[in-house]
Structure 1
């Protein structure tokens, strides 16, 4: 190692079997499932451990995620990678729809349109990503999410079209 290189940082995390989450779709409504995760009664999906989600709040039709911006979220420019931002936006938008679905009904994002407005660093503080449903039909829904920093400034905005379907039986 040369004198100009920093000491390597490391991070360790774990996750639960994602098949356990999928199996719950057949017997558990979205609101109950998401509230169980928010309360710590059900484990979060693996992606939330990967990005180190700081918490979530759930109400019918809206889900809010909290994330502390950290170095391991950075891109080569020294700011949070757009993929992490997009993951938060997609999750909040789609989970807002999930919170309205009964047991046996699934969903998936068909698209995600993101507008990045500000960069994010560890100095941005805790991020808040709030999702909402703009329109819900029998087979599709239009959702949105807004990401703000600790000062309440809008960091990014997204809209997503989601498809609603009968969940596959295990």
Structure 2
């Protein structure tokens, strides 16, 4: 019996860069959440490092709603050849939480308290551009509830999530 040897795997590389995240933090004392998000969407401010890390491709912000896009790539894959659930969860968390950010006045910050995700379909590079839209469902003095929906290029629902965010006063500069 002859033993065969598999051909070596083709090596792929990816290089990326990011900007200093403290630049965004400094702006929180002088701009509303919506203003910061719209400045990122217009290219006047760089996106946060996590968006650059996953290769996000678009951002649109309105009061109470944020939409982000991503083109699935091989570097998003898990061991079974589909986009890792952590990437999908990151998109959902970003859209939901940034929707909350889009409603915040000057001097108020937020952080996610929880994220409840339901995965409905697998995602691969053939899924086309993913669109994730978040919306604020309810906002109070200390907490906000938001949801996000992720669809593929054909408009099929891939996953959805709800998120609770804690609202807090930012330290004075």
Determine if the TM-score, normalized by the shorter chain, exceeds 0.5.
yes
Residue ranges of structure 2 left out of the alignment (5+ in a row):
none
How far, CA to CA, are the matches of 2:8 and 2:62 in structure 1? 47
How far, CA to CA, are the matches of 2:124 and 2:8 in structure 1? 21
* Number of aligned residues: 169
1:106 is matched with: 109
3-state SS of the aligned residue for 2:162? Answer: strand
How far, CA to CA, are the matches of 2:172 and 2:112 in structure 1? 20
Which among 74, 77, 83 is matched to residue 74 of structure 1? 77
Q: Does 2:82 correspond to 1:83? A: no
Query: With structure 1 as the length reference, what TM-score do the two structures score?
Result: 0.97
Q: Deviations over 1:39-77 (max 9, x none)?
A: 000010000100011111111100000000110000001
RMSD: 1.0
1:54 is matched with: 57
Q: How does 1:1-170 map to 2 (within 5 A)?
A: 3-169=6-172
- The structure whose Rg is larger is 2
How far, CA to CA, are the matches of 1:169 and 1:64 in structure 2? 30
Q: Deviations over 1:80-118 (max 9, x none)?
A: 000000000000000001001012110000000000000
3-state SS of the aligned residue for 1:88? Answer: helix
3-state SS of the aligned residue for 1:54? Answer: strand
3-state SS of the aligned residue for 1:7? Answer: coil
How far, CA to CA, are the matches of 1:142 and 1:60 in structure 2? 14
How far, CA to CA, are the matches of 2:8 and 2:43 in structure 1? 40
